Amino acid sequence: MIKLALGAALGALFAVAPAAFAQQAFPTPLAAAEALVDGVARHDDDAIARTLGKDHAKFLPVPRTSSEDVTTFLASWAEARRIVPAGDAKAWLEVGRYGWTLPIPIVKGTSGWSFDVSAMADELRTRRIGRNELDAIQVMRAYVDAQDEYKAGEGRGRYATRLVAAPGKRDGLYWPSKVGTPPSPLGPYVAKGGPYEGYRFRQLPATDAAAAGGVPVFVGWPAKWDDTGVKTFVVDRDGVVRQKDLGPESAARVREMSVYAPDASWQKID
Amino acid sequence: MTPLLARLRRFIVVLACFVPAVAGAQDDYRPFSKEQIDQLTAQVALFPDALLSQVLMAATYPADVAEAALWSRANPDEKGDAAVALVDDKPWDPSVQSLVAFPQVIVMMGENPTWVKDLGDAFLLQPEDVMDSVQRLRTAAQRAGNLASNEHVNVTVESRPPADFVQVVGAPPPPPQVIVIEQRNPQVVFVPMYNPVHMFGPWMWPAFPPVFIPPPVGFWWHHPISTGIWWGVGVGVTHAIWGHPHWWSRRVTINVHHHNRIHVRHPIDRWDPGRGDVNWSHRPDRRRDIPYRGGDRTRDQLQRRADRVDREQFRGRDVDRSRAEQALRDRGVSTDRDALRDRNRDDLRRQAQGLDPGRSRELDRGAARDRAQSIDRDAARDRAQNIDRDAARDRAQNIDRGAARDRAQNIDRDAARDRAQNIDRGAARDRAQGIDRDAALDRARAADRGGSRDQRVPALQGVDHRQARQEIDRGRASRESIQRPAGAPAQRPAGTPTQRPRGAEARPAQGQRPGGAQGQRPQVQRPSGAAQANRPQGGSRSR
């Protein structure tokens, strides 16, 4: 009798368990989003599993310990949230004031709306590329700032022709400095060529133009094409940055560059 | 008798307001003359260094100063750190908020808005001249016997620039000497009150009398002024003073540690490795509608300067490293930083716990914004470290192990021994003394890492990045643009519009260079500078 009851209970448990972890579909994208956020806010693994599927920990592990990412997300959700449709069968959850969207799209299936976790990895890569490219553009401009600073100080009116100074000298943009003394114009992470924020950097060899007072041309290209970045950037003396996609062989093509001929295929960034 | 005196004093106040009109109209493009600058600085030249630097910074935000002065008048008993905490939610620049600690100073500034604006503009446009003017006046005061160390301040003369002083090409030569006025007790500030007409010996420029702002009637520090300096009552502060003038290099730096302790809502998140201090930079976006001397041209120039300062974080210096270095120099700071972070986190946790739609609107927007500034950077650092690590592993795997082993075996042992014997002990000692910054930093960072770290959730990161939308758009645009026949080099025909749908956004948009007229240029080292001279500057991109 007891065995029978136990068996029935176990059977019931097995019958319920798969249902609890199967990814659920929702009548609207917003309902799906609310279910997910509710699960995250409660640290409720089962609830998250219902929205993202049983492998949810791979995509959205919700730590039991304090996590700045989770609390920031929840605070931003409380502040503003919006469903941004992309066509009839796809939508994004926008959260907070800066237009951020959850990198997991909500897609329409036969039974309703659900999160498409398979799309997340690629979406994260797209964002990484965007972020790195924006940062790399700033690095290009910061390089010109560093050259200006060098010219006004150590360079005594001349731009640096080397990124890293010769040992014991200050004939480049970066030299190791002692604690408590002013740092060199450029930091080691860029001066040594990266990778820094997913980009590598190089200065074209000094030429006559450089000797005549011009800044050497500075190039930044993605450390891993279509993964850490797509565009290759060059900057001139006035801080004007241009971009071009040099393709999967970006690194090799940058290595071949010896002079900078900015034809129309190099797009100017305003 | 008393009402008559009061009326007389009011008359003097009104009169004083007209004096700085000499210093020039608002759309004046000419630089201030030496005489004009002495007029402007006389009132504050004998202030202790740190307080003077706070006054100079605050003066560049005249609208904020006017409001803060009104606040201080309405709350005459508030001073010190407590007063600064009370104005934490005002939309004023931190330099102005800090001055509320010194009612005597902020109310004095409120008495003469024109003087404030001129002093601020002079400091923005001719900082070297302002700093030199202060030194000139201090020397005169000392010569007149009116400036010497006492129980409130130490007055010292430096006749040689510090060892790390770098003379900027084209800048005026360093002054022959500088007079430093420091508080005896850094946590107790005495604000001197004096009449500039009498203080500097016979005034050097009779046609340009110094601006004098007597204390307004009815204030506690009111005091009949004669020829001496009245040092008033000390104001206790711990973090309200965070500026510091560098007389030799003629600039003002900010002690980030103190600044961020007291301005928790507006922390500075850029660190100058090696100092723990950062150069002060004016923010045109906080100026409100008060025009600059020189008008929009000045505003553009100052905006470019601010952009440049924002970009310093992209110079390839590890932020973590500079923080570690700061910790190395002053262990107290790292705990402060943790405290700051903890505070924010607690705010957040409270918000998250009370998460229900009804309450959601009450969330503190300010806290979220401030958090954005500090979190962005952490995220960026983590990113950089992850990428580096991946790349390093890839590289490591590609190393030809056989070749490495061969090389190792072929090392010439004799040569190695010779080298070892020839090590110059003197050089070794020198090396030890000049500890390499990078090595020291690595160590410090390793030590700093002991604390517990948050677990990161990649899918939820970036929600408070100011440029979250731009990052997404940029990534999409770049990746969409590569859908071309594989292998073929990307050759976009000239004149093709970009694929980005939105052109004008906060972020500088990518624009196609107009026309094929540019064509295939001859081989030049760089595009002609003249063609690009008027490139529009992107807005300030605080992260």
Q: Encoding tokens for residue B451?
A: 């604390």
User: At B226, is the pLDDT very low, low, confident or very high (cuts 50, 70, 90)?
Assistant: low
Q: CB-based contacts of B330: which residues, under 8 Å, 6+ apart?
A: B257, B276
CA distances to A32, A47, A48, A105, A232 from A112, rounded to whole Å, are 10, 17, 17, 14, 42
The vertex-B396 CA angle with B390 and B400, nearest 5°, equals 150
Residue A241 near chain B (CB below 8 Å): no
Q: CB-based contacts of B121: which residues, under 8 Å, 6+ apart?
A: B32, B60, B292, B293, B294, B298
Q: CB-based contacts of B276: which residues, under 8 Å, 6+ apart?
A: B255, B256, B257, B325, B326, B329, B330, B333
CA distance B88 to chain A (A): 22
Tens-digit pLDDT profile for residues A31-51 = 999 988 988 888 888 888 888
Flag if A244 and B490 touch (Cβ within 8 Å). yes
Instruction: Please tell me which residue, B33 or A55, carries the higher pLDDT value.
Output: B33
Flag if A223 and B380 touch (Cβ within 8 Å). no
Yes or no: say if B458 and A118 are a contact pair by the CB < 8 Å rule: no
For the residues of B79-137, what is the DSSP string, one character each? -HHHHHHHTTTSSS-HHHHHHTT-HHHHHHHHH-HHHHHHHHHHHHH-HHHHHHHHHHH
CA distance B3 to chain A (A): 57
Of B351, B388, B525, the CB nearest to A259: B525
| Report field, pTM of the whole predicted structure over 0.90 | no
Of A69, A98, A262, the CB nearest to B527: A262
**Which of B105, B96, B126 is CA-nearest to residue B28?**
B126
Highest mean pLDDT among A171-180, B248-257, B344-353, B419-428: B248-257
The residues in A 107-166 lying below 8 A from B, measured between CB atoms, are: 120, 124-135, 138-139, 141-142, 145-146, 151-154, 156-157
Yes or no: say if B329 and A179 are a contact pair by the CB < 8 Å rule: yes
Mutate: best of A52, A56, A69, partner B, most B CBs <10 A: A69
Distance from C-alpha of B142 to C-alpha of B161, rounded to nearest angstrom = 20
Distance from C-alpha of B489 to C-alpha of B347, rounded to nearest angstrom = 51
Burial status of residue B400 (CB atoms within 10 A of its CB: 0-12, 13-18, 19 or more): exposed
Of B363, B494, B529, the CB nearest to A264: B494
**DSSP letter assigned to residue B212:** -
DSSP-derived 3-state class of residue A48: helix
Counting one residue from A and one from B, how many pairs have CB atoms under 8 Å apart? 336
Distance from C-alpha of B532 to C-alpha of B515, rounded to nearest angstrom = 15
Residue A21: the pLDDT is 53
Instruction: Please tell me which residue, A27 or B383, carries the higher pLDDT value.
Output: A27
Distance from C-alpha of B363 to C-alpha of A79, rounded to nearest angstrom = 7
Going by their DSSP bridges, the two strands A162-164 and A172-174 should be labelled as parallel
Tens-digit pLDDT profile for residues B247-279 = 988 888 888 778 877 776 666 665 544 445 777
User: At A222, is the pLDDT very low, low, confident or very high (cuts 50, 70, 90)?
Assistant: very high
Distance from C-alpha of B56 to C-alpha of B54, rounded to nearest angstrom = 5
CB atoms within 10 A of CB B17: 16
What's the whole-number average pLDDT of chain B?
66
Of B434, B474, B513, the CB nearest to A130: B474
Flag if B460 and A190 touch (Cβ within 8 Å). no
First-to-last alpha carbon distance for chain A, in angstroms, is: 80
- Predicted confidence (pLDDT) at residue A110 exceeds the cutoff of 80: yes
* Segment (H or E) for A201: strand A199-203
Tens-digit pLDDT profile for residues B399-445 = 334 344 444 444 444 444 444 444 444 344 444 444 454 554 444 44
Residue B116: the pLDDT is 95
What's the whole-number average pLDDT of chain A?
81
Residues of B in contact with A127 (CB under 8 A): 462, 471-472, 475
Find tokens 């004799």 and name the residue: B414
**B4 phi, psi to nearest 5 deg:** -65, -45
